[in-house]
Amino acid sequence: MLRLLHDPETPGYATHLRADRPKRTTTLKVETQDLANRQLQMTVEVPPEQLEAAMRSAARRLASKTSIPGFRPGKAPYDVLLKRLGEAAVFDEAIDTLGQEIYREALENASLQPFAPGSFDEVVSQQPLVLRYTVPLQPVIGLGTYREIRIPADDPEVSDEALEAFLEELRQGQALIEPAERPAQPSDVVLVDIRAELPADGEKPAETLLRQEGASILVSETNDWPIPGIFEHLVGLKAGDEKEFDFTFGEDYPSENLRGKAAHFHLQCREVKSRLVPEWTNELARSLGDFEDLLDLRTKARQSLGQQARQRAEAEHREKVLAAVVEGASVEYPPQVLEEELTDLIRDLEVRLRSQKLSLADYMKIQKKTEQEIRADLEPA
């Protein structure tokens, strides 16, 4: 099976028929038959004179590479060339070129537009010359019974709890930060020099995980930077204090390479600062924007939260509807589309492997798989 090139006048895969290009006068006999997976079998009977012309051109091409005794280059008669070169060899040479030409002519004749390069499958017969091709067609998407999809939309409301949480976060953001000559307390901010490392393990040297000077850390039970539970190590620290402790990363820690490992931390406190959070007043509300008073702030905050909630609900509803449409949809496409996509994925894999100083052959050895098995793994479920 030979793969056919796309129309050289048209970029991309699809062969598009140009309205301004006159159709050739041809006596090709074209028959088509639908195949599975959006493919079409195209059988073409070629006029004898077209085959004859292709055979003569092929003989001349082959003769230019062969010395014919008794004749100057290119001057040997066609019958002599056939006998010297062999009719089968001349025929094969002719089909290599004629197959492409007939494919393009037959597509025009049948008003077909392939979605990807087609294939020349076989010579059905030589007398008359009949060629058979496989033509990939445009994929077809069926949306199923999407008009029957009914998914109720939510109409969210802003609870009093959500409003109060928003306002409290807003209030906390207005805190005044002042130096505190005392041990750190909850809600304070401490400035610390922090260092963390994984101890040496056999031949593996110690590894520094974190080194930062003057890090500003909120003393809060909800704070998990740089590690969960840092709160208990910050409470009670005073300026000038140093503290060391070990911490074992949990099995659910986001960084997989640290899970289950124990690190040693060293803290040196530079300064403790208190956070003075103001109480809600009309003046504070006006300082935050275009608000007349605290009631106006609460009203507009509820409206804003409601609008955000509705936007989220609408986005979630669209996603649910789209998911339902996709679930009920069907896609039929020619196998060439999948093969092209898999080839692109293999190329991308090779690029990533080269960045790791590996080849695809190395990867196949490591995975103990053939390229076909890797391609199968990449196929969509």
In which residue are the tokens 């939510």 written?
154
| Bridge pairing between strands 176-179 and 129-136 | unpaired
Which token pair is 160? Answer: 């009093």
| Shared domain check, 96 and 46 | yes
| Shared domain check, 348 and 236 | no
Last residue of a domain, one of 276, 304, 320: 276
| Shared domain check, 351 and 264 | no
Instruction: Please give the residue range of the domain that contains residue 129.
Output: 2-139
Look at residues 371, 380, 370, 365 and name the one whose alpha carbon lies nearest to residue 346.
Answer: 371
**Exposed/middle/buried for 283, CB within 10 Å: 0-12, 13-18, 19+?**
exposed
- Residue 68: predicted pLDDT: 77
* Contacts by residues 60-65 (CB-CB < 8 Å, ≥ 24 positions apart): 61/93, 62/89, 62/90, 62/93
CA–CA distance, 92 with 86 (Å, rounded to integer): 10
DSSP-based three-state secondary structure for 262: strand
| Shared domain check, 184 and 126 | no
pLDDT averaged over every residue in the chain: 90
Backbone angles phi, psi at 355, to 5 degrees: -65, -20
CA–CA distance, 16 with 33 (Å, rounded to integer): 21
DSSP H or E run through 209: strand 207-218
Residue-wise pLDDT tens digits, 148-198: 999 999 999 999 999 999 999 999 999 999 999 999 999 999 999 999 999
Q: How many domains does the chain have?
A: 3
| Shared domain check, 182 and 128 | no
Where residue 88 falls among pLDDT bands split at 50, 70, 90? very high
**Residue 261 domain flag:** yes
- Residue 3: predicted pLDDT: 56
| Shared domain check, 190 and 260 | yes
CA–CA distance, 311 with 360 (Å, rounded to integer): 47
The count of other CB atoms within 10 Å of the CB of residue 185 is 14
- In this structure, the dihedral spanned by the alpha carbons of residues 233, 238, 241 and 243, taken in order and rounded to 10 degrees, is 0
| Bridge pairing between strands 39-46 and 129-136 | antiparallel
**Residue 23 domain flag:** yes
Q: Which residues pair with 197 in a beta bridge?
A: 208, 264
**Residue 294 domain flag:** no
**Residue 190 domain flag:** yes
8 Å CB contact between 6 and 117: yes
**Residue 144 domain flag:** no
- Residue 314: predicted pLDDT: 97
**Residue 304 domain flag:** no
Residue-wise pLDDT tens digits, 227-266: 999 999 999 999 999 999 999 999 999 998 899 999 999 9
Mean pLDDT in residue range 357-367: 93
What predicted TM-score, i.e. pTM, was given to this entire model? 0.58
| Shared domain check, 131 and 14 | yes
Last residue of a domain, one of 276, 295, 316: 276
The distance from CA 34 to its chain's CA centroid, rounded to whole angstroms, is 32
| Shared domain check, 127 and 32 | yes
The distance from CA 138 to its chain's CA centroid, rounded to whole angstroms, is 22
Q: Which residues pair with 250 in a beta bridge?
A: none
Last residue of a domain, one of 257, 276, 295: 276
**Residue 288 domain flag:** no
| Shared domain check, 350 and 243 | no
Q: Is the pLDDT of residue 20 over 50?
A: no
Domain with 112 in it: what CATH number? 3.30.70.1050
**Exposed/middle/buried for 34, CB within 10 Å: 0-12, 13-18, 19+?**
exposed
**Residue 301 domain flag:** no
Which token pair is 220? Answer: 């809060």
CA–CA distance, 68 with 55 (Å, rounded to integer): 18
| Shared domain check, 192 and 117 | no
Q: Which residues pair with 216 in a beta bridge?
A: 191
- Residue 67: predicted pLDDT: 76
